[in-house]
Amino acid sequence: MGRLYLAIQLFDDSLFSQLQDGAAQSPRRRLNHNIHSDLSDPVQRLFITLMPDSYVRPHRHSQSDKWEFFLMLEGTASFVIFSQEGEVLARHTLCAQGPLRGLEIPPGTWHSVVALEQPATFLEVKQGPYQALSAEDMANWAPAEGEPEVQAFLQRLKGCQVGDKFNG
């Protein structure tokens, strides 16, 4: 019985403050806290905090079982869904205060996420084990992290609407 008690994990305000402070200090301007114990676990569960100037390159998870579930805990973020050619198909803005707080992205869906005015923290749940993205799963019409075009691309991403094209 004592062993079960030791396995319980609690997530309090200090964890979320640490995530926000760490994201603010991170060169990538984001930070995650894994809840799962190993990258080989069959279900990956993590908290992620994004600063408003963090760039998540549009990508997909091409494996047929790699769905992703997101639930907003603090702040507001937009999840942008693209066609393979870089056209915006949908934009869903999640806010911790509602009305839209979560979404699930099916496998093979091109997407990105941007925090809006404030840092945004969400819970992500996805099928494991962890697999790094391949070059084919990164949008070739979007700049790679660190490239000079990233800031202009990020600003376009924050204001994009359905029908906008990022491939030219």
**Mean pLDDT (the chain, rounded):** 94
**Which long-range contacts (C-beta less than 8 Å, at least 24 apart) are formed by 36-41?**
36/128, 39/128, 39/129, 39/130, 40/128, 40/129, 40/130, 41/128, 41/129
Q: Where does residue 27 rank: exposed (0-12), middle (13-18), buried (19+ CB within 10 A)? A: exposed
Structure tokens at 107: 């496998």
Residue 28 above 90 pLDDT?
A: yes
Average pLDDT over residues 129-151: 94
> In order of start, what are the domains of the chain with their CATH numbers?
35-130+148-160 (2.60.120.10)
> pTM of the full predicted structure?
0.92
Structure confidence by residue, pLDDT tens digits, 69-111: 999 999 999 999 999 999 999 999 999 999 999 999 999 999 9
Structure confidence by residue, pLDDT tens digits, 41-57: 999 999 999 999 999 99
Residue 3 above 60 pLDDT?
A: no
What's the chain's Rg over C-alpha atoms?
A: 16
Average pLDDT over residues 52-65: 95
In this prediction, residue 6 has a pLDDT band, given cuts at 50, 70 and 90, of low
